[in-house]
Amino acid sequence: MRKTLWSIIASALVVGFIIGMIVWQKKQDARPFNQFDFPETVEVVNHTDFKADTMSMVLAHEILGLDTLNLVITYIPDHINSDELVFLGMIQQIPFKPNQFVLLLKKRMSFSQLKTVLSHEFVHIGQYIYGDLTVYPEYATYAVDTIVFIEVKYKDRTFEKEAFKQQGRMLKKLNRLLYETD
């Protein structure tokens, strides 16, 4: 009987903590962004319901230091994701247009997930722009490596490892710029 009571109390505390964290995160996410002045040559066209345009412009101009970028944001087509691998975001450089990209986002994700996904994909934009990453239909070159997609699992690809490694720092900079005041 005593063990059951303690199990109920422990479960209630865990559930209360989780609910408290969700409420806290929603309050954090609802804060207004700082105001920015971006050059007209940093252009983001957002075809989603997400507040991804300002964050993308901050990532591009304020963090990566880009003065020129053309980015179209839209949703990932349903047939791209499968039971085996679900993409939250995908970035593709427009061929022969060095600073033009299409960013595809999963239709449903939390605001916190969105910021993380954008941070990850902007690491890839940096890889493209600085000449480290080139993607072809069946393979990619990253630095001096050639990665054949069917031979290397997604998380084992060197450019993905780098993006996962860098996304936390990128996200921290993004949050600081979006919300902190001087």
3 state DSSP class of 181: coil
Query: What is the reported pLDDT for 25?
Result: 63
* pTM of the predicted structure, to 2 decimals: 0.83
Q: Do 59 and 69 meet the contact criterion of CB atoms below 8 Å apart?
A: no
Rounded-to-integer distance, Cα 61 and Cα 38, Å: 7
d(CA 138, CA 124): 18
Q: What is the pLDDT of residue 22?
A: 66
Q: Which residues pair with 46 in a beta bridge?
A: 73
Instruction: Please give the Cα distance from 86 to 78 (Å, whole number).
Output: 10
Report the chain's terminal Cα–Cα distance, integer Å: 56
How many whole angstroms from its chain centre is CA 64? 14
Confidence at residue 29, expressed as pLDDT on a 0 to 100 scale: 65
- The partner residues of 70 in beta bridges, in order of sequence, read 43, 100
Residues in the chain: 182
Q: What is the block-wise mean pLDDT of the chain (182 residues), using blocks of 10 residues?
A: 75 77 66 88 95 94 95 92 84 90 94 95 96 93 94 94 97 92 59
d(CA 38, CA 53): 12
Helix (H, G, I), strand (E, B) or coil at 50: coil
